[in-house]
Amino acid sequence: MKKRYSLSLKKFIKDLRALVKPYQPAMWPLAGIMVIFLALSFIVGFYAQSATSAVGMAIMMSMYGMASPAAIGLSVLEIIVAIVILLALSFFYSFFTTAVEFTYQDRLRHPEQVVSAGAVWMHFKHLRKNQLWRIILYMGLFLFLWTLPLDIISGLVAKNAILVMICRIANDLILIWKGIEYSQANFLYRDKQPQFLGQSMRHSLTASRRFMGGRKWNYILLMLVTVVVPVLIWEVIFGGLTWWGIYTATNAFIYIGLAVMILGFAFYLPVMLAVPALYYEQARATAQMNEIFAGTFKPVAELTGEAYVHDVYVPKKNHKEDKKSDPVAKGQQK
């Protein structure tokens, strides 16, 4: 992209405060959903870990004839069920956060839009979830493919701790960089939602990568100041209090630290979900949307098959000069 645009940090923080502050009390139901999601994920994760330990124990006992294959199969089934539940929870929470971001986006575009739990629920119901989960799967696939080479290399040099650490750091940097490139996929999909009918959802990732061209460092700065640093400071303070309670076996410090840390995250959740919407709307002002999606969508005639209705197969002629030519459609001959 030829145009480059960096958002002012001072103005961004001012606009963010104006966007979030009036509706902070109305967003507590969202904080409750976050707490429920974390609690359920912890419970299911603990159950999956226990089932994994049970599988290992059953395999070891089967070597001495003390466990049957059925017991091993049952434990494996429990692990599969736990993984499916975790995936379902993750998808649900992803749809929920997307609905919140779209609500803030509507507020920025339409000042009469009220940000509330009811508005978020309305957006959640109207989400095209079958398209959004495909964006998530494509993103996961691409991130996996980007990190796969270094994962293979780290496996080959597993005996060299330094090389393994370098590969892991490089992988983390790749994940962060590519995650930033794909960060605007949902918003771009929403702007072009009618055109995505019958199209591949990976086009939203391509458009996001183009959209973020020349914007990534500015985006990193804004995310660090408005999201990462406040959350990190809060976590260090009250996570440290929890660690001190565990170290000194003081239950009061453990419970207080955990409770305050979770409540702090819940209180700051509206800000974390408003930041992406505000960034997209302000960055979009200088984006060339037609250039961003250029060459992505297939023509409707190709999708419906209309472009090929009148094509007739003609076999190649039996001449020496035609031996290297491929069969062509009659409609395509010059």
Look at residue 294 in the predicted model and tell me its pLDDT.
87
Look at residue 320 in the predicted model and tell me its pLDDT.
56
Quick count: other Cβ atoms within 10 Å of Cβ 119?
20
Look at residue 49 in the predicted model and tell me its pLDDT.
82
Structure tokens at 70: 């059925």
Residue by residue, DSSP assigns 34-65 as HHHHHHHHHHHHHHHHHHHHHHHHHHHHHTTT
Give the pLDDT confidence of 47-83 residue by residue, as tens digits.
888 878 877 777 777 776 666 777 777 778 888 888 8
The CA distance from 302 to 319, in Å, is 33
Look at residue 137 in the predicted model and tell me its pLDDT.
92
Nearest to 182 by CA among 226, 152, 150, 219: 219
CB 158 within 8 A of CB 164: yes
The residue that leads in pLDDT, 51 or 256, is 256
Checking if the pLDDT of 330 tops 70, the result is no
Which of the four pLDDT bands, split at 50, 70 and 90, describes residue 312?
Answer: confident
Q: At what angle do helices 129-156 and 69-109 cross, to 10 degrees?
A: 120
What mean pLDDT do residues 196-201 have? 86
